[in-house]
Amino acid sequence: MKKLIHPVTITMLVVTFILLLPFLLPQRAVPEFSDEALRQAALSRDMSPVPTNYEALLKVADNPENPMSREKIALGKELFFDIRLSKDESISCASCHKLEEGGDDNLPTAIGFHGRANPFHLNSPTVLNAALAQAQFWDGRAKDVEEQAGAPVQAPFEMNMTPDEVEKRLNSDPQYVTKFKALFPEDRITFENIRKAIGAYERTLLTRGAYDRFLEGDNDAISSQAKRGMTLFITKGCKGCHTGMSVGGQSMQKFPLRNYLSDFVGMIFEPDLKIKESPFPFANKGGFLGRDGTLKFRVPILRNITKTAPYFHNGSVEKLEEAVRIMSKYQIGNEFTPEQIDDVVAFLKTLEGEIVKY
């Protein structure tokens, strides 16, 4: 009588084959670019440098619904740092968006009024270069920085104010009243115009660094290792989502895009084991599942990414190297080697920059 192979044995063989499959398939060689070819590969994919002067800034960052002016920008800057926009006058926009530290707060979850944490364990996205993005917040619910500026002021776990309270507080300040009257047609300060002023200021928070100088023709601006990382970034698919002048923020994307049997392999040998709780390759702190629970998130801006740890929406990943590994595996389906990760991180370091003094 023919002896049958035990079902568990078959399962183990299938699992082993699937786990080894990425290593058995031939890997496409990474192309080598000259400096000029690499630069053109980036520019042709809309990875352009940040402008150096105010006139050029207006061409890329101005909002026809809220035209920028130097006076409006100055007023917005004043409001951005004004603690009177919070209930107990203890925090300002700048409290969670520290401009000298990457434009965020470097906390796993945003902390606001009276130490309240974001109920979904969401951390603060950077405000630097955010004006170049197509949407704001992790779920992309705000169309621009003007709309975004009003939300933290009203959130009970952030600044905990109402529009009426903000208007009453600022209308009691004669200097603010004079400045607003010079810029807006209304006879009194309105919450909408407060948002517009802050938005105008945030549109100037663009940064430039070595990456921009390379794009403009300086071959010595970045290292050979960074150029290898940039080549990987462009040819392996990272630039498909992290694109544009801001190197991100241009679309909503599902995360994770891929799942692997190896993530669930324990269920095969432990039938009573439940599917892992988290849909992410890290802990599901806060239970946030993106826009409308679809696992769609606004693609993060990568400029100054080296300064905005911890990573991902709930701050579950401390190291940039691990974030790169996760993205290579779960988004582009080609997990980078340790050497490739180091090269990509070297490239990401070139995205550090200083705020341009427009």
Q: For the chain, how many residues are written?
A: 358
What is the CB-side half-sphere exposure of residue 226 using CA atoms within 13 A? 17
Q: CB–CB of 264/276 below 8 Å?
A: yes
Q: Which helix (H) or strand (E) holds 59?
A: helix 54-61
Structure tokens at 249: 């923020």
Instruction: Give the chain's count of helices (H) and strands (E).
Output: 14, 4
Q: Let me know if 158 is a catalytic residue.
A: yes
What does the DSSP assignment read for 230-295? Answer: HHHHHHTTGGGTS-TTTTS-S-EEESS----GGGTTHHHH-TTPPPPS-SSSS--TT---SGGGSS
Q: CB–CB of 63/199 below 8 Å?
A: yes
Strands 296-298 and 354-355: unpaired
Catalytic residue (one of 146, 158, 167, 202): 158
What is the CB-side half-sphere exposure of residue 231 using CA atoms within 13 A? 19
What residues does 111 pair with on adjacent strands? 117
Q: Which residues are catalytic?
A: 158
